[in-house]
Structure 1
Amino acid sequence: MCEFYYDADCGFCDASARVLQRLCPSIVVIPAWSEGDFSQCVREHISTEAVAIVDHEPYFGHEAIGATLRAAGRLSFIRLAGNVLCAGVLRPLWRRVYRSIALRRHQLGPLIGADACRISP
């Protein structure tokens, strides 16, 4: 069981979640709001990072994406990419990459034809 929560107010996040859904068709993708009727874990994190619940274990940010790919990727190379995103030695690098993208998501949405993120940086 894999649930992936993303910031519903962000066009870039919405577009990214749709790509993740195509890569991992068995997951449940859920648009979330920080004030919504979600678990406290999701509400606390959703305005700054994605959240995944994989086999009842929470993951955040790049690890949410990695854990989702690893658990539910439809092809072996997709699952391998998930392992790389969650690899211990590479976590600091992926954390910085994810953070950099998250901080600029309001600028990235329009570049891919998505609505701008309504959450200011």
Structure 2
Amino acid sequence: METSTFVYDGDCAFCTQCARVIERWIPTGARVLPWQFADLDTLGLTAAECEEAVQWVGVDGVRAAGPDAIARLLGDSNPLWRVAGAGLRFAPVRAAAWPAYRWVARNRHRLPGGTAACAVPSAGRD
């Protein structure tokens, strides 16, 4: 693996729309790709992990999920986005980010751009 990788759910229209925003507005050297087209074995990921949350696999081998993965992606960008990524890693913000991320993940089919295909499988719901 020569570059870091950010993996999202390509079956979800909301997630795909978010990935388009990343590709357009966040300059990063990381690959941004749907897990359905990623070599999960090479990345050391499972489909279950990818269905649960976005994933980051750094070129340095560091793995992160959910808002931690987003923080890593932002940290791999230009200085302005790196500040946002550092803010997301700040303990009080990070503590709030996980419940917010889980809420979005559970309700992504209801969010703008979301479809019924975006619904998290029932096994992944709280």
What TM-score do you get using the length of structure 2 for normalisation? Answer: 0.78
Counterparts in 2 of 1:18 and 1:48: CA distance versus 1, 3 Å: same
Q: CA–CA distance in 2 between the matches of 1:50 and 1:115?
A: 18
Q: 2:82 aligns with which of 76, 79, 82?
A: 79
Deviation (angstroms), 1:6: 0.4
- 1:24 and 1:86 map into 2 onto residues whose CA distance is 19
Tell me the percent identity: 28
Q: Which is worse superposed, 14-23 or 36-45?
A: 36-45
Q: Deviations for 1:11-65, whole angstroms, at most 9, x for unmatched residues?
A: 11111111122203422011113xx741352423111100011221100000101
CA RMSD of aligned residues (A): 2.0
Where does structure 1 differ by over 2 angstroms across 4 or more consecutive aligned residues? 39-44, 118-121
**Structure holding more strand per residue:** 1
When you count helix as a share of all residues, which structure comes out higher? 2
Q: 2:49 maps to what in 1?
A: 45
- 1:5 corresponds to which residue? 7
Unaligned runs of 5+ in 2: none
- Output the TM-score relative to the length of structure 1: 0.81
CA deviation map 1:55-88 (0-9, x unaligned): 21100000101111012x23x2211111111122
**1:47-62 alignment runs, 5 A limit:** 47-54=51-58, 55-62=60-67
- Partner SS state of residue 11, structure 2: coil
Gaps of 5+ in 1: none
Residues 1:70 and 1:91: Cα distance change in structure 2 (over 3 Å): same
